[in-house]
Amino acid sequence: MAISQSSLPVWFPGVFHSSPSQPGPPLPSLSLVKPSPVPVLRTLNRGVRIQPPRAAREDSMSAIISDLELQKTAEQVDTRQPQDGLANRWRVIHGRDDWAGLLDPIDPLLRTELIRYGEFVQACYDSFDYDKFSRYCGSCKYSRRQFFYSLGMESAGYDVTRYLYATSNVKVPKFFAKSVMGSRTWSERANWIGYVSVSNDETTARLGRRDILIAWRGTVTRLEWIHDFMAKMQPVRSAGIPCPDTRVKVETGFVDLYIEKDSTCRFCKYSAREQVLTEVRKLVAQYTEAGEEVSITVAGHSLGSALATLNAYDIAEMELIKGADGKQVPMAVFSYGGPRVGNEHFKERCDKLGLKVLRVVNVHDKVPTVPGVLINEHMPEFMLRAMDGYVHVGVELLLDHKHSPFLKDSLDPSNYHNLEAHLHLLDGFQGKGRKFAPTTGRDPALVNKSCDFLHEHLMVPPNWRQDENKGMMRSQEGRWAQPERQKIDDHPEDIHHHYQQLGLDRFE
């Protein structure tokens, strides 16, 4: 069961966030207009504006934006909008060359893609049922087929093919379990943790390939917290991942959440690992057999970025990136505010497998410094190997929230870690030593969707995103109650077939 964001401690990974069928009627709408996580739908009005006198607008959002637009003109900031070209450059943007030459200054096309994939991850938070009074707390508020439509993301260009559920089998005292779970929840062990989706035909043509997207959310429940605090490591082979090197280790809490299952729960019957691997196998086979070019993109924030890295490594180790034609399917990980996952041998194994990971980090965020605050990649090599410390994987893109004129000085570390804040910083980042200049037109008000990080004079209320009437609806009898959900998706009918084909039944 998920718990209220406001009751969670302030520093831990992921806790700082307080379609294929014809669209049907949306579930309970937001009290404010639902912003679309697709950048083109979130652009500011760039038409001709009649500006009021400077004195009347000096404390407004538009004043800051106008001043920054003047700065961009004066300083010749690269604000090119990549309207096309992705179909020809997608392999480079996807990390073929480890993003060499694309980060400083940042490539406009890469910026747009980082924001786009980050918003797919943000959709996990926006659709998660946090309400402890909800009988569906811990699940996704929307059905799989209505997922993007319900979030106002009709133009997302992807179809969700399955939901992912994580299982926590941590043993806790009964009194604590009650406070964590409750007695009326839809599942005592399962929590909705992300989804697998695939680009539709129109988006595939624009991207230059059929993109399989796996999105993972960060920590939102107390039991996930316990997993996060398990700082010890274990060999990946003990988790059933067929790694030939027994020295390759990952953080125990992350891998436990990835592999745990519970046969007594219909949502926990298969582990998160089994769910995602079977779906990836099916989709890769389906589209490569049809002769299409395919990519795999794994994205996550905080705990979700740790799971994304572990998941992508597992896909590579299981050789699921080989298509039906024997060619390798390009795969990339986009990580936002992610912690370290494993030891140096894990990093070396990822490098050997050719795993491409781009980590977006706010320099003031403490989450990417754990685990391994003291023993990490910054130590001398001989000491790191002797102590078997944690090491980051991939390429790092450093951002600094203090460079944004929209963000206030804050002592709340949860703000530094907020995913919407990361996407805002990506929008304005130009490169080291360059002025912050919003480029894509992404609305800065989105930062305060689930936190309080914008300057007060911008007049954007903190934590503004909520369901209208908190999801309560009035019945024909005049009573207010939560509407029944027609169905909560669990596992597709063909999962056991792919489960056996992957040989996962050998580990039962």
Cite the active site residues.
302, 365, 417
CA distance 256 to 166: 10
> How many angstroms separate the Cα of 307 from the Cα of each of 3, 245, 312, 409?
21, 20, 8, 31
| Cross-sheet strand order for the sheet of 331-336 | 158-167, 190-199, 210-216, 294-301, 331-336, 356-362, 395-399
In a 13 Å sphere around the CA of 60, the CA atoms on its Cβ side amount to: 11
State the amino acid at position 216 in one-letter form: W
SS3 70: helix
Residue pair 13/449 in contact (Cβ under 8 Å)? The answer is no
Edge to edge, the sheet with strand 390-391 lists 233-235, 249-251, 342-343, 390-391
Which runs of consecutive H residues, i.e. helices, occur in 58-196? 61-75, 86-93, 108-127, 147-150, 174-181
Q: Which residue has the tokens 């404010």?
A: 32
Of 109, 99, 120, 160, residue with least CA distance to 38: 120
Element (H, E) at 288: helix 272-289
Long-range contact pairs involving 375-383 (C-beta distance under 8 Å, separation at least 24) = 376/340, 377/344
- Backbone phi, then psi, for 334, in 5-degree steps? -110, 110
Distance CA 7, CA 264 (A): 30
Residues 6+ apart with CB under 8 A from 333: 297, 298, 299, 300, 305, 308, 309, 312, 355, 356, 357, 358, 394
Number of H helices, E strands in the chain: 16, 13
The helix (H) or strand (E) run that includes residue 343 is strand 342-343
Which residues does 436 contact at the CB level (< 8 Å), separation at least 6?
A: 68, 403, 404, 405, 428, 429, 430
Token pair listed for 255: 């891998």
Burial class (CB in 10 A: 0-12, 13-18, 19+), 334: buried
Residue found by looking up tokens 């089998």 in the block: 169
Whether the upstream peptide bond of residue 444 has omega within 30° of 0, thus cis, is: no
What six digits make up the tokens of 44?
Answer: 């500011």
- For residues 320 and 313, the answer to whether their CB atoms sit within 8 Å is no
AA letter at 385:
R
